[in-house]
């Protein structure tokens, strides 16, 4: 049977239209974040920074980021997800969506101002969380931000995905590497995540390797 670490696991779900994690539209906290970042200027350029969307799925967020003036790279290893994401990006920006494995595909180190997280981290089995954190650290500029949606669950391991954090384990994972600058409950979660999701903004510290 295929495993969440394999593209087939996800690809078959996109092919079958069984994607209960997909948010129809742009979630409220992301809207607020984008509005805040675009404040003071209506022009989309110059770029407000480079954003990476790992495990982007069909990437409903790609256009809102672009429209708010960000330069976006989105990556997913499921071919059907990438096809859908390219469609959402539109012909001009389709080449900003990459088919590849977040952990191994070449992406320039220290080149992103933001990594946007939504339901990718919780799709990984917990043994891959350190690799996720290390990869995010590698790709962000010093002082860059990991922003987005983080999923908590008690007990730690029910039948995932999604695999949620037990309270406190996220601090252990990110604490030495990031400073949490925003942390608030999410009010428009999908039923799958309701009551367990938080919007967080974490700044990459420059004093850890």
Ligand X SMILES: C[S@@+](CC[C@H](N)C(=O)[O-])C[C@H]1O[C@@H](n2cnc3c(N)ncnc32)[C@H](O)[C@@H]1O
| By CB under 6 A, residue 73 contacts ligand X | no
Query: Whole-angstrom Cα distance, residue 51 to residue 140?
Result: 9
Options 29, 30, 50, 57; binder of ligand X; rule CB under 6 A: 57
The stretch among 51-59, 151-159, 166-174, 178-186 that binds ligand X (CB under 6 A) is 51-59
Strand partners, 200: 148, 183
- When asked if residue 78 is in the footprint of ligand X (CB under 6 A), the reply is yes
Asked if 193 interacts with ligand X (CB under 6 A), we say: no
Distance CA 188, CA 21 (A): 13
Question: Two tokens at 182?
Answer: 């925003």
Question: Is 21 a binder of ligand X (CB under 6 A)?
Answer: yes
Q: Is 71 in the site for ligand X (CB under 6 A)?
A: no
CA 2 to chain centroid, in Å, comes to 23
What tokens were used for 193? Answer: 């995540």
End-to-end alpha carbon distance in the chain: 37
Q: Which residue has the tokens 């078959």?
A: 12
Assess contact for 105 and 86: CB atoms under 8 A: no
CA contacts within 13 A on the Cβ side of 194: 5
Site for ligand X (CB under 6 A): which residue of 33, 65, 77, 145? 77
Candidate list 8, 12, 22, 71; residue touching ligand X; CB under 6 A: 22
Q: Does 37 bind ligand X (CB under 6 A)?
A: no
Q: SS in 3 state form for 93-122?
A: CHHHEEECCCCCCCCCCCCEEEEEECCCHH
- The answer to the question of residue 151 lying near ligand X (CB under 6 A) is no
From residue 93 to residue 132, the character string flagging contacts with ligand X as x (rule: CB under 6 A) and all else as - is: --------xxx--------------xxx--x---------
Q: Which of 30, 66, 72, 81 binds ligand X (CB under 6 A)?
A: 81
Question: Which residue's Cβ lies closest to ligand X?
Answer: 57
If DSSP codes are grouped into helix, strand and coil, which group holds residue 75? strand
Q: Does 76 bind ligand X (CB under 6 A)?
A: yes
Which stretches of the chain bind ligand X, using CB under 6 A?
10, 21-22, 55-57, 75-78, 81, 101-103, 118-120, 123
């Amino acid at each position: 049977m295929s495993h969440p670490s394999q593209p087939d696991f996800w690809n078959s779900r996109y092919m079958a239209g069984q994607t209960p994690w997909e948010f129809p539209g742009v979630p409220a906290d992301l809207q607020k974040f984008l509005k805040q970042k675009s404040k003071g200027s209506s022009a989309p350029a110059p770029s407000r920074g480079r954003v990476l969307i790992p495990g982007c799925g069909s990437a409903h967020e790609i256009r809102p980021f672009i429209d708010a003036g960000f330069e976006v790279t989105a990556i997913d290893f499921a071919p059907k997800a990438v096809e859908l994401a390219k469609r959402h990006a539109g012909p001009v920006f389709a080449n900003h969506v990459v088919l590849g494995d977040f952990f191994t595909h070449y992406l320039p180190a220290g080149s992103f101002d933001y990594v946007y997280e939504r339901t990718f981290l919780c799709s990984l089995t917990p043994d891959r969380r350190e690799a996720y954190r290390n990869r995010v650290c590698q790709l962000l500029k010093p002082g860059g931000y990991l922003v987005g949606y983080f999923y908590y669950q008690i007990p730690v391991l029910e039948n995932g995905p999604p695999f949620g954090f037990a309270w406190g384990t996220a601090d252990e994972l990110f604490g030495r590497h990031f400073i949490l600058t925003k942390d608030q409950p999410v009010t428009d979660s999908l039923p799958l995540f309701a009551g367990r999701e938080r919007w967080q903004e974490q700044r990459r510290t420059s004093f850890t390797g």
